[in-house]
C-alpha cells in the first residue's frame, strides 16, 4: 500500500498573487486524499506533518464555499466533496478487500473532514425543501399515502421517455456502469439500521433485507443479478470499477443514506426515504426494461430490473403500510420527518436521474 502523499505543486495553490485567485486542482487533491486514506497511522501523520494535508485542506475550504455558498455552485466542487465523503463512508462497509484499507476507519481526522463537509451540505440540501411546511402537516399518514399513490402511477416525463425511446446500446452500457456503484452492494444501508429491539416494524424491515439478499443464497441475491447484467456486456463486476463515471448527484444520494443510517436520530427520515425508493422504483425500472426490449437485448441484460419491478411493488406496500404508517403512531410529534425523508429522497433521486441521463447522452456523443 502506498505510504507517500502527493504534494500539490505550488503553482496550483498559494504561490500566485492574492489578486489572481485560482481554483484548486480538485483532481490532484482527490488523488492526495486517496493516498492519505492508506497511510499507516493517519492521525499521527497529520499531527506531526500538517503540511502534508495543507493543499487538500485548502481545496476542501474553497470547494465548500463554491458548492454551498455561491448562487450557482461549482460542479467540480460538488463532485470533489461528494467523492471525498464517499471514500470516507465506504469504510463503514466491508468489501472483502485488503484489510489494510481499513487501518484508518476510526480516524479522528477523517471524521473531522466528514463532519466539515456534511454540515454545510445538509443545510444546503434542506434548503431545497420547505421544511417548515412539513412540520405543520395536519395529517402525516394521509400525506404519505397521497405521495405514494401519486408515485406509483407517475406519468412519464422527459427522462423516462428518453430511456424508453432513445437510449442506445452504448448508452445502456454507460447506465450500467454508473448503476454498478450501488447495484453491486445493494441494501447495505438497510442492514445498518436493523440492530436493536425487536418489533413488527423491525421484522418488516428485516423481511425486505432478506429478500434483497436472496434469503442468504448468493445466486438469488439482487446484487448477483446486477453482476450478471454487467457480465452480459463483458463489463467489470468489481465494485467501484466505474467510480470515475459516477455523477456527483448519484454519490450524494449514497452519502445521504450513509448519514441517515449512521445516526439513529434520523431513523424516521431514512425510513421515509426508503418508502419512496421502494414505492417509486418500479416506475424507473420499467423504463429500463422498455429500453432494453426496444434495443433487442437479452433477458440477462435486464434481469435485475425485472426482478425489482416485481419485488419492489410488494416492498413499497410493506414500507408504507407496515413501516411508515406504524412509525407515525409510534412517534406522533416527529412523524413529519418521515415525509421529509420521502420528499428528500424524491428530490435527490430526480436530480440524480437527470444527471445520469446527461452523462449517458454525453457518452453517446463521444
Taking each helix axis from N to C end, the angle separating 222-232 and 303-318, rounded to the nearest 10 degrees, works out to 160
Alpha-carbon distance 356 to 362, whole Å? 10
Residue in 333, 330, 349, 352 with CA at minimum distance from that of residue 341: 349
Alpha-carbon distance 175 to 302, whole Å? 12
With cut-offs at 50, 70 and 90, classify the pLDDT of residue 325.
very high
Alpha-carbon distance 366 to 34, whole Å? 29
CB distance 268 to 319 below 8 Å: no
Instruction: Classify 246 as helix, strand or coil.
Output: coil
With cut-offs at 50, 70 and 90, classify the pLDDT of residue 70.
very high
H or E stretch covering 193: none
Given a cut of 60, is residue 12 above it in pLDDT? no
Alpha-carbon distance 177 to 227, whole Å? 11
Minimum mean pLDDT among 13-27, 173-187, 326-340: which range?
A: 13-27
Alpha-carbon distance 101 to 131, whole Å? 39
Cα Dmax for the chain: 63
The average pLDDT across 103-127 equals: 97
Grid cell digits, residue 132: 417548515
Residue in 153, 115, 122 with CA at minimum distance from that of residue 341: 122
Instruction: Classify 2 as helix, strand or coil.
Output: coil
What's the CA dihedral at 304, 309, 314, 319 to 10 degrees? 80
Domain regions of the chain by residue span: 10-126, 131-365
In percent, the amount of the chain with pLDDT more than 70 equals: 94
Domain topology for 131-365: Heme Oxygenase; Chain A (1.20.910)
Question: Mind listing the pLDDT tens digit for each residue in 34-64?
Answer: 999 999 999 999 999 999 999 999 999 999 9
Given a cut of 70, is residue 170 above it in pLDDT? yes
Given a cut of 50, is residue 88 above it in pLDDT? yes
pLDDT at 8: 47
pLDDT at 187: 85
CB distance 65 to 76 below 8 Å: no
Question: Mind listing the pLDDT tens digit for each residue in 272-312?
Answer: 999 999 999 999 999 999 999 999 999 999 999 999 999 99
Q: What is the CA radius of gyration of the chain?
A: 21
Alpha-carbon distance 335 to 359, whole Å? 37
CB distance 110 to 333 below 8 Å: no
Q: Which residue has the higher pLDDT, 186 or 291?
A: 291
Amino acid at each position: 500500500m502506498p505510504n507517500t502523499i502527493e504534494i500539490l505543486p505550488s503553482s496550483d495553490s498559494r504561490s500566485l498573487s492574492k489578486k489572481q485567485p485560482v481554483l484548486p486542482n480538485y483532481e490532484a487533491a482527490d488523488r492526495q486524499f486517496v493516498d492519505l486514506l492508506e497511510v499507516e497511522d493517519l492521525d499521527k501523520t497529520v499531527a506531526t506533518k500538517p503540511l502534508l494535508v495543507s493543499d487538500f485542506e485548502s481545496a476542501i475550504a474553497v470547494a465548500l464555499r463554491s458548492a454551498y455558498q455561491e448562487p450557482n455552485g461549482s460542479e467540480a466542487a460538488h463532485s470533489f466533496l461528494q467523492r471525498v465523503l464517499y471514500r470516507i463512508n465506504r469504510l463503514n462497509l466491508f468489501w472483502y478487500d485488503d484489510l489494510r484499507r481499513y487501518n484508518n476507519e476510526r480516524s479522528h481526522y477523517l471524521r473531522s473532514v466528514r463532519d466539515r463537509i456534511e454540515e454545510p451540505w445538509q443545510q444546503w440540501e434542506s434548503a431545497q425543501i420547505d421544511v417548515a411546511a412539513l412540520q405543520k402537516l395536519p395529517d402525516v399518514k394521509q400525506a404519505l399515502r397521497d405521495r405514494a399513490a401519486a408515485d406509483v402511477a407517475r406519468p412519464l416525463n422527459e427522462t423516462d421517455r428518453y430511456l424508453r425511446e432513445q437510449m442506445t446500446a452504448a448508452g445502456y452500457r454507460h447506465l450500467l456502469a454508473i448503476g454498478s456503484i450501488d447495484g453491486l452492494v445493494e441494501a447495505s444501508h438497510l442492514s445498518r439500521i436493523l440492530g436493536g429491539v425487536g418489533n413488527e416494524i423491525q421484522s418488516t424491515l428485516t423481511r425486505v433485507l432478506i429478500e434483497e439478499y436472496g434469503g442468504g443464497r448468493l445466486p438469488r441475491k439482487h446484487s448477483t443479478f446486477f453482476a450478471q447484467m454487467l457480465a452480459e456486456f463483458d463489463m467489470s463486476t468489481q465494485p467501484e470499477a466505474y467510480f470515475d463515471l459516477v455523477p456527483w448527484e448519484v454519490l450524494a444520494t449514497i452519502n445521504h443514506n450513509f448519514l441517515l443510517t449512521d445516526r439513529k436520530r434520523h431513523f424516521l427520515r431514512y425510513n421515509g426515504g426508503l418508502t419512496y425508493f421502494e414505492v417509486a422504483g418500479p416506475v424507473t425500472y420499467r423504463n429500463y426494461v422498455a429500453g432494453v426490449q426496444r434495443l433487442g437485448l437479452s433477458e440477462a441484460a435486464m434481469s435485475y430490473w425485472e426482478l425489482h419491478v416485481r419485488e419492489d411493488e410488494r416492498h413499497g406496500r410493506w414500507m408504507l403500510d407496515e413501516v411508515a404508517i406504524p412509525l407515525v403512531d409510534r412517534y406522533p410529534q416527529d412523524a413529519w420527518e418521515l415525509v421529509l425523508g420521502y420528499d428528500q429522497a424524491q428530490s435527490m433521486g430526480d436530480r440524480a436521474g437527470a444527471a445520469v441521463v446527461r452523462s449517458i447522452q454525453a457518452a453517446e456523443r463521444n
